[in-house]
Amino acid sequence: MTKLHLTKCELEVMDIVWKKGRATVQEVVDSLERPLAYTTVMTTLKILDETRNVVHKKKEGRAFVYEPAVSREKVSRSMADDLTQRLFGGSVKSLVLSLVGSDSMSQSDIEELKQAIQSLEKDV
């Protein structure tokens, strides 16, 4: 699988494109939670299109419209795999135990995790 490692700024822009399904530069600028210059967003979308290949652009009127070329799940899995390799020596168990040991899990998170483990056990 091709590694898809996006920067924080690229992920912020992609989050808007994934949520909207398609967006112009101005729509992304207007939807971001923090202020970013129009040219910064335009450059980021250009990199995401031409270098990262995670969006496609189409010319509509005077503006380019950007659409996701890669799913959020594919990027998430690639970045999680990279994190697992770099920080946990490739051990998914160590990654999960690290996350479970954090204080950021809610009761509903724990229930979802239990269901995921039960589903995995059925497949073994």
Domain ranges of the chain: 1-90, 92-123
The per-residue pLDDT for 2 is 66
Class of domain 1-90: mainly alpha
Tens digit of pLDDT at every position of the chain (124 positions): 567 899 999 999 999 999 999 999 999 999 999 999 999 999 999 999 999 999 999 999 999 999 999 999 999 999 999 999 999 999 999 988 888 887 778 889 889 988 988 998 988 7
Residue 67 backbone dihedrals phi, psi, to 5 degrees: -125, 145
59 bridge partner residues:
64
The two tokens of residue 86 are 């770099």
